[in-house]
């Protein structure tokens, strides 16, 4: 299992040919209290860097971008009833969706955890 991060504060955990996607702890702290998550439909094709989901907080609505390209295979049903999971467990139970990994080469352009933690220190 490998964990990658984007400059837009998404994380992606790759296990075999499946990637789980969510937003980072830094992202949820900037958003404030999350009140709604709109995930892509199962089967939707996603393109790296393009909008995949929307997260709404008491402050604003923000796009969540696909960290890699692939097809949505599952969405987190727990977020419908408890979107605050994005705040309380952003890099665990508050994941957004799972997808196939279309091109593993895209992962090379993402950051590892240490690089990402250094990146957010300067923001």
Domains in the chain: ranges and CATH:
2-121 (2.40.50.100)
For 68-96, the pLDDT digits (tens) are 999 999 999 999 999 999 999 999 999 99
CB 65 within 8 A of CB 52: yes
DSSP secondary structure of 4-42: EE-TTSEEEEEETTEEEEEE-HHHHHHH-SEEEEEPPPT
For 22-44, the pLDDT digits (tens) are 999 999 999 999 999 999 999 99
Instruction: Identify the pLDDT of residue 80.
Output: 94
CB 53 within 8 A of CB 97: yes
Angle at the Cα of 95 from the Cα atoms of 83 and 42, rounded to 5 degrees: 95
């Amino acid at each position: 299992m490998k964990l990658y991060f984007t400059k837009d504060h998404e994380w992606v955990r790759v296990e075999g040919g499946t990637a789980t996607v969510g937003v980072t702890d830094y992202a949820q702290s900037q958003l404030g209290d999350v009140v709604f998550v709109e995930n892509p439909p199962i089967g939707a094709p996603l393109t790296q860097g393009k909008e995949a989901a929307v997260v709404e907080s008491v402050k604003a609505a923000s796009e969540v971008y696909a960290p890699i390209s692939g097809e949505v295979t599952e969405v987190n049903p727990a977020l419908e009833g408890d979107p605050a999971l994005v705040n309380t467990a952003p890099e665990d139970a508050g994941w957004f969706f799972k997808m196939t990994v279309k091109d593993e080469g895209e992962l090379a352009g993402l950051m590892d955890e240490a690089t990402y933690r250094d990146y957010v220190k300067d923001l």
